[in-house]
Amino acid sequence: MTTNFFHPALIMIIGALLLPLVRGPFRKAYLFLIPLLTFIDVFYLSQHPGTYGVVQFLDWELTFGRVDRLSMIFGFIMSLMAIIGTIYGLHVEDEWQHIAAWFYVAGSLGVIYCGDFLVLFLFWEMMAFASTFLIWFKKDPESLAAGYRYILVHTFGGVILLLGFVLRYQATGDLSFVQLNVQNPELYTWLIMIGLMLNAAVPPLHSWLPDAYSKATITGSVFMCAFTTKTAIYTLARSCAGFDVLIVLGVIMAIYGIIYAIMENDVRKLLGWEIVSQVGYMVTGVGIGTALAINGTCAHAFAHILYKGLLFMAAGAVIHATGKSKFTELGGLYKKMPATFVFLIIGAISVSAFPFLSGFVSKSMIISASFESHILWAGFLLTMVSAGTFLVAGLRLPYLLFFSENKCSAETWEKAVDPSWNMQLAMALASFFCILIGSYLPFLYGMLPNTEVAYHPYGAYHLSETLQILALTAFGFFLLRKHITARETISLDLDWFYRKGGQCFLWTVTNPLQWFDTAFSKAYRVVGLSTLMTTSQFWSWFDWNGIDGVVDGTARCVRAIGQRISLVLQRGQIQQTIYYTVTFAAVILVAYVWL
């Protein structure tokens, strides 16, 4: 490896592994030091673009460090958010939460700087498994269930992604993480795109996000809202720019998320649905694929990490103080938590694209790119969603938490107080950057990947248009606020199908087998035939013969199908790839069912 390259992810991994050894008064200093060193390393790499960390592994050349303008901006904001998130969680005594969070950040940085699909997959799975523990560490039944759903969904996405990588390598002999063919996409192209879109929470592969983020630990949700979806946006921008289907899906995503956010009663679920909506802008920008659209996608991802992290931190402060997360159990808290209220308002008006705040200078870039590319329907619909964003995050959220009728119990009201100094410091840092990005354009625009494109958000037309949208939305909220107040709701989403489908599958498997087991045992006891095997003997035989037969038979069928495909398509060794891939999947499936 190149001597002047030290991977930022490695700093986070080593720091996480050494954390249990650091005790006493040095713990908090150490917690701050590791992400700070990571940020310094990222900044150093941004001044030295190039390719680093090239390693020969078997027949493959793996690249751990590709530093260019696209990876620079994402690496910068990810490492900055690692500092803010760690400061926010300094009061957390459970060292395992910090370890999981740092491994999660390391996975994100590994994906951002990788140069091939094999390294991408390695860090992709590190992200999925590390973030699962940020849900489980809340240690209540709902969090455990949400964590299991989260890891199953992401494991499914990882398998699809891996299958796409394998088929692409079989077809091209290349593992390079580069732009995929837009003109003539192959099957592996669609598989890779689907695997990446799952982490971006693109409908219908989105339900995991509000479910998991609302059940994670308070600190864990701050990290999760920043890394998974935006890392996925980076991979889509790197490999899938210009795919028209992403424009349609992104616009649907933006509308879908904001509709569910309007109905939501849980504060973190509302913010989760709002993430789905805002990431829809970024997916649309990737689909448009022009230089301005990619710049807008990067700028909006940068801004979104800060203001959404700020909103999750403010919501976490309320939950930390009161122990409640539903709007129907809160209200009137501006008297008890004034500092938290100020920070939440800054995040709320940032996401609502108020002038001189971060959302104003990033979101409009994607909308402008859609109009410049003559995709008028997308531009108009995203503009409409901007009004919905202000309605949900800029008006409904702060109103229900801080100004609506006080629904807190006496105990909750007594406990409500602004959080500790470290949580306020983290929110202050995020607020500062939200204002800096919107007020001093060179800070963000100087990091955008396509330097040849100029964009000026503070034109008279854009300012007047934004102010009109905000004013009309505020007027509508004033008239309709009684109809969008807090109420207990059950919002059916697409996850209903796999949740109920999984229950039906479990019932189908369990009940017939249980009936057979009971009937077989009764027959043995009643008839007393010595030739009949006991249930335990039967299953022992089935474990070693039945499963082996299923796997062997599956392998034979797959081999035969592969041979037929190779004759038809004349693709050489494709049957071996299909054979080994499906056989491996069959073995894993049978092992999972057996366990």
The answer to the question of residue 121 being in a domain is: yes
* Residues 545 and 564 occupy one common structural domain: yes
| Least-confidence region, from 175-184, 311-320, 502-511 | 502-511
pLDDT confidence band for 71 (50 / 70 / 90) = very high
| Least-confidence region, from 28-37, 92-101, 222-231, 513-522 | 513-522
Give the pLDDT score at 593: 39
The answer to the question of residue 512 being in a domain is: no
Burial of 91 (0-12, 13-18, 19+ CB in 10 A): middle
pLDDT confidence band for 23 (50 / 70 / 90) = confident
Number of domain units in the chain: 3
The residue ranking higher by pLDDT, 70 or 331, is: 70
What would the pLDDT profile of 241-254 be if each residue is shown by its tens digit? 999 999 999 999 99
The answer to the question of residue 353 being in a domain is: yes
What would the pLDDT profile of 456-489 be if each residue is shown by its tens digit? 999 999 899 999 999 999 998 888 877 777 777 7
What would the pLDDT profile of 291-319 be if each residue is shown by its tens digit? 999 999 999 999 999 999 999 999 999 99
* Residues 246 and 233 occupy one common structural domain: no
Q: Which of 195, 211, 238 is the last residue of a domain?
A: 238
Gap between the Cα atoms of 587 and 509, Å rounded: 18
The answer to the question of residue 506 being in a domain is: no
Q: Which residue has the tokens 């230089």?
A: 291
Write out the H or E segment, with its range, that includes residue 272: helix 267-288
Q: Which of 195, 213, 238 is the last residue of a domain?
A: 238
pLDDT confidence band for 517 (50 / 70 / 90) = low
**Looking at residues 353-357, what average pLDDT do you find?**
93
Rounded to whole angstroms, the maximal C-alpha distance in the chain is 92
Burial of 493 (0-12, 13-18, 19+ CB in 10 A): middle
| Least-confidence region, from 145-159, 296-310, 525-539 | 525-539
Give the pLDDT score at 509: 65
**Mean pLDDT over the full length of the chain:** 86
* Residues 41 and 102 occupy one common structural domain: yes
The residue ranking higher by pLDDT, 480 or 237, is: 237
Give the pLDDT score at 534: 52
**Looking at residues 121-129, what average pLDDT do you find?**
95
- What is the separation, in whole angstroms, between the first and last Cα of the chain? 41
Whether residue 563 has pLDDT greater than 60: no
* Residues 322 and 466 occupy one common structural domain: yes
What one-letter code names the amino acid at 138?
Answer: K
* Residues 294 and 193 occupy one common structural domain: no
Whether residue 529 has pLDDT greater than 60: no
DSSP bridge partners of 538: none
The answer to the question of residue 509 being in a domain is: no
pLDDT confidence band for 276 (50 / 70 / 90) = very high
* Residues 246 and 227 occupy one common structural domain: no
Give the pLDDT score at 557: 54
Q: Which of 198, 213, 238 is the last residue of a domain?
A: 238
pLDDT confidence band for 575 (50 / 70 / 90) = very low
* Residues 309 and 324 occupy one common structural domain: yes
| Least-confidence region, from 36-50, 342-356, 566-580 | 566-580
* Residues 62 and 106 occupy one common structural domain: yes
Could you tell me what percent of the chain has a pLDDT over 70?
86
The answer to the question of residue 508 being in a domain is: no
Give the pLDDT score at 520: 66
Tokens of 341: 């209220």
Q: For strands 50-57 and 60-67, give the pairing.
A: antiparallel
What one-letter code names the amino acid at 251?
Answer: V
Angstrom distances, CA of residue 428 to CA of 227, 402, 559: 20, 19, 61
Residue 476 structural domain: 241-490
Give the pLDDT score at 577: 42
Write out the H or E segment, with its range, that includes residue 60: strand 60-67
Whether residue 541 has pLDDT greater than 60: no
* Residues 229 and 261 occupy one common structural domain: no
Give the pLDDT score at 488: 74
Whether residue 214 has pLDDT greater than 70: yes
**Looking at residues 405-409, what average pLDDT do you find?**
82
**Looking at residues 34-58, what average pLDDT do you find?**
93
Torsion 347-353-354-357 (CA) sign: positive
| HSE toward the beta carbon, residue 281, CA cutoff 13 A | 34
**Looking at residues 383-395, what average pLDDT do you find?**
92
The answer to the question of residue 520 being in a domain is: no
Gap between the Cα atoms of 515 and 507, Å rounded: 12
The answer to the question of residue 519 being in a domain is: no
pLDDT confidence band for 565 (50 / 70 / 90) = very low
Give the pLDDT score at 582: 41
Q: Residue 173, SS3?
A: coil
Gap between the Cα atoms of 463 and 460, Å rounded: 5
* Residues 259 and 272 occupy one common structural domain: yes
Gap between the Cα atoms of 252 and 257, Å rounded: 8
* Residues 116 and 212 occupy one common structural domain: yes
* Residues 433 and 306 occupy one common structural domain: yes
